Amino acid sequence: MGDEVVVDHATTKRYALVTGANRGIGFEICRQLASKGIMVILASRNEKRGIEARERLIKELGSEFGNYVIFHQLDVADPASLDALVNFIKTKFGSLDILVNNAGINGVEVEGDVSVYTEYVEAELKTMLEAGHGGVQGEAFHPQGNGRFVETLESAKECIETNYYGAKRITQALIPLLQLSRSPRIVNVSSSLGSLVLHPNEWAKGVFSSEDNSLTEEKVEEVLHEFLKDFKEAKLQENHWPHHFAAYKVSKAAMNAYTRIIAKKYPSFCINSVCPGFTRTEISYGLGQFSVAESTEALVKLALLPDGGPSGCFFTRDEAFCLY
Ligand SMILES: NC(=O)c1ccc[n+]([C@@H]2O[C@H](COP(=O)([O-])OP(=O)(O)OC[C@H]3O[C@@H](n4cnc5c(N)ncnc54)[C@H](OP(=O)(O)O)[C@@H]3O)[C@@H](O)[C@H]2O)c1
């Protein structure tokens, strides 16, 4: 880092980057962090949507917060846009304190009645709860209405590229700047749908849940590769991959495993993944149990963990779980 800015941590502000922040949970994370006096880079893949989101946020917070929220373009699936952002942070701030990998897609289209979304998520949450009480994996899902999920190979690839590889690339690129922080924090916005209880493929489950020493990025990515290969060859059912939200579930399970890997590699960081809960945003067709404000509180707490706080854990809102 030859031309980096020398940072005096005692006198400087804290800096946070939030990906996919032009709406939904990412936007609310920016709002809550900025209102606590943290300088926030609100990143959005679309420049117009990002600039408008920043203006909306300043209007909500008050003009005195104008200097606390900065827009920068970032498409997490585009390495060139990441390079530009890393250079911007390096030259403008010299370090980074908080990275929130929030940008995500679900890899699914709903045809017909969208209430199938709520029905499905609630059925899966029930399965998880029953599994936690020693029950068995739930019955196959039969929706009440006429809604159905459509998942294509293209949407599966995009989902894994965005949710797993996107977050991983950003993390790798920003670790040198996070290492210059006194209290580096990474929050990976994941999902309970990544819970291994919902993964019938025993091999994938074994890889994702393996002991820290045998869990590697290569093995995680071998699972992603096999999943996409089976998707292409129409072998998802034969090889026991999840029935619905398959790419989303696999991508978020991979994100949780990656969280453990890097938490072990960087013991001075606090690195955790978290499910915000079923929240009313665009990804969930505006359906869900929680408002963005309710969901985001727990995520912001993880971004502001005190030194010595947990690392390598998966949280669902305020509760720490070990889903591995
Ligand atoms: N809502 C829930 O019930 C729920 C539950 C569990 C987990 N989550 C997770 O929470 C996170 C935030 O989702 P949300 O609920 O706030 O949904 P949302 O309103 O749909 O927001 C998703 C954000 O991600 C951005 N994004 C998608 N692909 C991107 C890319 N390639 N590069 C940069 N940004 C990209 C979107 O940008 P555009 O506006 O440009 O599309 C948008 O800003 C996701 O990771 C999601 O998996 C949500």
Q: Which residues pair with 290 in a beta bridge?
A: 279
Residue 303: how many CA atoms within 13 Å on its side-chain side?
Answer: 28
Whole-number pLDDT of residue 137: 54
Divide the 324 residues of the chain into consecutive groups of 10 and give the mean pLDDT of each group.
Answer: 38 87 98 96 98 97 92 96 96 97 96 88 81 55 81 98 98 98 97 90 94 91 98 96 93 97 96 96 93 95 94 84 48
Quote the CA–CA distance of 253 and 250 in Å, as a whole number. Answer: 5
Q: Please tell me the distance between residue 105's alpha carbon and the centre of ligand 1 in angstroms.
A: 5
Of 163, 321, 131, the residue nearest 248 (C-alpha):
163
- Catalytic residue check, 248: yes
One of 15, 117, 248, 324 is an active-site residue; which one? 248
Q: Which of 281, 294, 300, 314 to mutate to test ligand 1, by most ligand atoms within 8 A of the CB atom?
A: 281
Which residue lies with its CA nearest to atom 6 of ligand 1? 191
264 CB within 6 A, ligand 1: no
Compute the distance between CA of residue 16 and CA of residue 41 in angstroms, rounded to an integer: 6
Contact criterion met (CB below 8 Å) for 110 and 116 = yes
**CATH superfamily placement of domain 15-321:** NAD(P)-binding Rossmann-like Domain (3.40.50.720)
Residue 12: per-residue pLDDT: 55
Residue 199 CB–ligand 1 contact under 6 Å: no
Alpha carbon of 214 to ligand 1 centroid (Å): 31
Q: Where are the domains of the chain?
A: 15-321
Q: Comparing C-alpha atoms, which of 26, 160, 188, 27 is closest to residue 101?
A: 188
Provide DSSP, 212-232.
Answer: GGG--HHHHHHHHHHHHHHHH
Q: Is residue 193 a contact partner of residue 284, using CB atoms and an 8 Å limit? A: no
Rounded distance from Cα 312 to ligand 1 centre (Å): 22
Can you list the alpha helix ranges (DSSP code H) found in the chain?
24-35, 47-61, 79-92, 115-132, 153-160, 167-178, 202-208, 217-232, 246-265, 292-303
Is any atom of ligand 1 closer than 6 Å to the C-beta of 194?
no
pLDDT number for residue 324: 40
Q: Which two tokens mark 115? A: 């209430």
Instruction: Give the mutation target among 44, 283, 300 for probing the ligand 1 site: most ligand atoms within 8 A of CB.
Output: 283
